[in-house]
Structure 1
Amino acid sequence: MTAPASGVGRGPLAAVLGLALDQVLAVRPGRLPMLCHPWDAWWVAARSLGRIRPEPGTWGACPACAEVAAAQIVLPLPGHPGHDGRGCGCHRTWAEAMRAPLAEGRLPAVPQRLTLALLKPGAPRRTIRSRLRTALREVHVVDRQLTAADCDRLYPDAYGAEFVAQRTAYLTSGTVEVVVLAGGTDAVACGAALKRTVRADLGVGMLRNHLHMPDNPAEALADIALLAGWDELTRLYRRWESDERRLAARLAGYRAHLERGDGTAGVVGPQRRGHPLQPAPDRR
């Protein structure tokens, strides 16, 4: 079977990431599906800040890309291959597929109470936070000065040297405000809907849009780890996500999303074909 050059896509990868992060945070050792495309494995490692290190396959990319992806995964904090385009085109093809719009239902939806808002440089902070508090509770707030590496870890599948340079210049032009939020079990979907209405009301552009909020539970946890810190994520997870029934529902939901197919058979391997989850050592 030949794996597609573009990998499995963001939906299945978000399910793999969520399954892995929940297993690590809840201390529930398990198995991860196989990721046959090297950049898929790299994305999961990058989004988890190296806490999850899938063994990269070699399908769908040239040997040089497979080697680069594998080398980035093993770094203490997975690095980025660069945005100026690789001569082979493998990474660009993969990134374009990752950034393509997804049909409704293609991202995993599981019961999670935590999400995050990133108020970008120059954003009307008081106005935005007031809007968010109409539906969600602030549980952690901190100012950050982002670096170029932070931007790459927040958006590892962004591509195009010119666009990425503009994005990074914007996000590093001043301090950002990181707001971790808690709500009902649909907090992530609620936050994503609020983001769309806030952006529309503010009349923002495509790039300078003031507000980032994740659109799926797995990347919400990854964003908290990156922007608020792994220790803070661990503390908040214990406070808001430790309910055994919700945890079981999340794990089952991620597995069901992967087993549904969506054209990924043989690319994301079934659970029995996976490998034991071996998170990276604690680097606190």
Structure 2
Amino acid sequence: MSRDAAGQFQDELLRIESVGVEYPRKHIFDKPFKAISDISLQIRQGETLGLVGESGSGKTTLGRAVLGLVPVTEGRIVFEGNDITTATRRQRRSLSKDIQVVFQDPYTSLNPSLNIEQILIEPLMVQGMGKRESRQRVREVLDHVGMPSDTAGRRPREFSGGQRQRIAIARALVMSPRLIVCDEPVSALDLSTQARVLDLFLQIQRDTGVSYLFISHDLDVVAHLSHRVAVMLKGSIVEEGTAAQVTQNPGEAYSRKLLLASPVADPDRQQERRARYLALAGESRSID
């Protein structure tokens, strides 16, 4: 990864330009539901962009649009200079090695009928890598995410939630991607396990230079590993800036509410946050 003299990332990897996504309504006379509208963001090589908002804010829809899982109805998404919103299915299949995903729930994102080697080796074989080389790559990534040497022959049910998420990260990492979309990847884990998995994401980025689009409802989690943060509300970006700016001195009341809603391990700090959150929520209602 390259940075300028001020330490800023230079090489653009992903550009989201005025993107909107609409979902059709169930009945023919209903207007389409606009999930996101006029979203413009940028991610550079080796950088983490944290995307934070409450449930229904549109953040997961945007992640799915980047992955090509939902159609973009306006604007475009450019990856390494190529407009991927118009990519064919064949082109998307080729792109899959460069853009990977880690989903929220490690309990359902791994096929329970396969062992870990079978889960991780499949995308390598699809891309044409030989079996021997593929097995070596699987061993390398499992070691990289801190899993024991006997992991490959075991099934997902034999591991804890934190271990399963490490395996899910290994599955994304096995293709040596340029970008990983992380969709609430630690929200199903307890606080201590969250911290260890977040540290793993940081270590992987230092080792490989991979970029992350890190989606979360928890501003504290996003602050832990993001270089920049964008806050979403009702399908739009309401605040964007460096992680320090948005998480330490947010300019929007909604961002402050998200920060105060983030859980902390210290019960006294948690109680204080809860009181401040309720006070801010009360102010918002009185203004409305």
TM-score (norm 1): 0.30
Higher relative contact order (CA 8 A, sep 6+): 1
TM-score (norm 2): 0.29
Which structure features the higher share of strand residues? Answer: 2
Q: Which structure: larger Rg?
A: 2
